[in-house]
Chain A
């Protein structure tokens, strides 16, 4: 080998090493944050409002906020879904590059608080229950606290479950919109056949329960026992839960319930192959798109169960502030969170997306929307009694056990009580493991 060739090779190796080092250095410097500078304060908001009216409304609200607060700039960081959002938030925290604000489910907030990576509301708002707190619906207020009794979250996009239906099909069969789950089953069975199914559900996956599992949870609550006690203890094999799963199995055996994936209820309803769909109130925009004016889309709150009491399952997320933000960013983030939860912002947000306003003060500002969607005041009323996910870190994993029980009973034909006993045993193990962390 010549001296020149050797020199070139050594130089090549050095260049490669320098490139790697430069890349590594570039990675580590890309996460620097503005906040302590004397210019505008920049905050970041990690969320999943990436589609349709959710994105356009959030962008408009954020622009309005920036116009009113020229010293604050909000960077919207979009994620495609809640699973990815959780992974990205976790990765950002681990890399010491967390956003200022992020959407969270209750169990995530519990996990973050246990790891001391989010701030309690009192730290940036000066009080555990700042002025705006009293304007929220009672169920929303309850949903902001963690087991230590302190408020760690602030509301943003809350929702409850709604029954969407093909009103024309109901009318043509001489059926009434169901007010009880018994009547729901009767209607679903009456229309099923010739390619039409009463309802199509997706139990979801162990990582991400979907409409079928929400229906099971709603049914169990309507029978008197929600799937989790307020202290996070699983109650998956309660008589109410067994009754709920048996109800679903009976519907399937009668040909009135079909299992699918990718929002099967919405797809079937839109294709005029389904009578009902159970989905979040926030799904209104997408249901309407699927129906495309082919028939009148009915909307109603959930029917009542054996207790006769109205029940529902609260969905949607809250906001938290992550540690690592400067004082200026914390203050700016808090201003933005208050803005998003204000009556005028919530009226606009709810009117465009279908999410429910978290404050009653928004309703007078939504008269046009309510005139077109008379279900809204009743749905909003459900925020007072809807059951939210208990704020414990193990709950998300334990909900996956419900999905498995549904799949076992609806596909494998496992007896509902047996499937739920197994789910309860596994959920208790999840609770034990989560509590030990």
Chain B
């Protein structure tokens, strides 16, 4: 009877995950005509070859932008959320309100709040430029600047995502042993030493989970790029997932888009495995 119990889950998983993934792999081997599939042509690995030879934008530059965004989100997001969690871990009405304030952005829809941030970064009437002008600082152009567009999207994404990872760290902080910290303080450890040598090592499993979750969600991030910068200017915010959307659903080069999806799937899976292995090794060594 075991198979019968797993059948509903297996059916759902097959219909919505395994089936589409296999179909995407199949489509990636064709010059796919979404309008009239009878006119699709089998071209083998040609989509993967043109992916490596593309120039506008190049596959490598898009991969770099994905890495840039993911790196900033993983490092910046983890550090910020850990810092916020340490600040907010004590109770009290004010800190409770602060926790709500930090988490609230995460509860908002990305599509709505990213549009609000587009106006914050608006070069003519935006709040960011108004503040900079008030203190006589130059305005970098934000989303219109090839240098500042990606940091602008990262700033928004951190604002939106950090609330969730703060909650994860708060959960971790709530269950670690207070005796070890107390013993460290008795032995004369200062606040930094206590955090570095006692608190954070105990948070390693949570940190690993945060890093994996943030890596996956960052590599797959799309909505903020679609709403805020549309991959520009000059492809400065064209990540692999945005490029995939553009090729598959704007220019309708579906086979090429499917090849990109398979590569993105492989990259995400490889990153996750690497992080799991590294995490296991760290856990064993500690």
Contact = CB atoms under 8 A, between A and B. Distances in A.
Given A111-B35, A260-B124, A401-B56, A16 B8 contact: yes
Range of interface residues on chain A? 35 or more
Given A261-B144, A429-B56, A94 B123 contact: no
B230 A206 contact: yes
Given A16-B8, A262-B122, A412 B234 contact: yes
A404 B124 contact: no
25 contacts: A90-B252, A93-B36, A94-B35, A94-B37, A115-B35, A117-B35, A203-B233, A205-B231, A206-B246, A207-B250, A208-B230, A259-B123, A260-B144, A261-B122, A261-B143, A262-B118, A264-B124, A267-B125, A273-B124, A400-B56, A404-B56, A407-B232, A407-B234, A408-B233, A429-B56
A211 to B, nearest CB: 14
Contacts of B249: 87
A-B pairs with the 6 shortest C-beta distances? A205-B230, A407-B233, A115-B35, A426-B56, A115-B36, A207-B250
Interface string B220-234: 000000000011111
A86 B55 CA distance: 25
Interface of A: 6, 9-10, 13, 16-17, 20, 83, 86-87, 90, 93-94, 111-112, 115-117, 200, 203, 205-208, 258-262, 264, 267-268, 271, 273, 396-397, 400-401, 403-404, 407-408, 411-412, 425-426, 429-430, 433, 437
Nearest to A24: B15
A204 to B, nearest CB: 8
Nearest to A405: B234
Contacts of B39: 115-116
Q: From DSSP, what is the main secondary structure of chain A's interface residues?
A: helix
Contacts of A401: 56
A207 B246 contact: yes
A4 B147 CA distance: 65
B34 A412 contact: no
Given A83-B250, A258-B124, A411 B8 contact: no
B146 A411 contact: yes
Contacts of A207: 230, 246, 250-251
B7 interface: yes
B218 to A, nearest CB: 22
Range of interface residues on chain B? 35 or more
B56 A260 contact: no
B40 to A, nearest CB: 10
B35 A259 contact: no
Nearest to A208: B230
A20 B7 CA distance: 14
A437 B230 contact: no
B113 interface: no
A412 B233 CA distance: 10
Contacts of A259: 123, 141, 144
Interface in B30-58: 31, 33-37, 39, 50, 55-56
A251 to B, nearest CB: 16
Contact of B8 (A13, A206, A260, A396): A13
A198 to B, nearest CB: 14
B235 A404 contact: yes
Contacts of A437: 31, 33
A310 B200 CA distance: 71
B112 interface: no
A397 B252 CA distance: 10
Interface in B236-279: 246, 249-253
A271 B125 CA distance: 10
Nearest to B115: A262
Contacts of A264: 123-124
Given A267-B124, A408-B146, 18 more contacts: A17-B8, A20-B12, A90-B35, A94-B37, A115-B35, A115-B36, A205-B231, A205-B232, A206-B230, A259-B144, A261-B144, A271-B124, A271-B125, A401-B56, A404-B235, A411-B234, A429-B55, A429-B56
Contacts of B37: 94
B5 interface: yes
Given A17-B11, A205-B232, A411 B246 contact: no
A93 B251 CA distance: 15
A53 to B, nearest CB: 25
B144 A117 contact: no
Contact of A260 (B33, B122, B231): B122
B250 A111 contact: no
Interface string B137-172: 000010111100000000000000000000000000
A93 B249 CA distance: 14
Given A261-B122, A407-B232, A397 B251 contact: yes
A111 B144 contact: no
A332 B225 CA distance: 42
A9 B5 contact: yes
B186 interface: no
Contacts of A403: 232
Contacts of A267: 124-125
Given A207-B246, A259-B141, A407 B146 contact: yes
Contact of B234 (A86, A260, A404, A433): A404
B4 interface: yes
A432 B11 CA distance: 43
A412 B146 CA distance: 7
B250 A260 contact: no
A112 B35 contact: yes
Nearest to A414: B234
Nearest to B123: A260
Given A259-B123, A261-B122, A411 B5 contact: no
Contacts of B55: 425-426, 429
Contacts of B146: 407-408, 411-412
Contact of A408 (B1, B118, B234): B234
Contacts of B234: 404, 407-408, 411-412
Interface string B107-143: 0000000000010001111000000000000000101
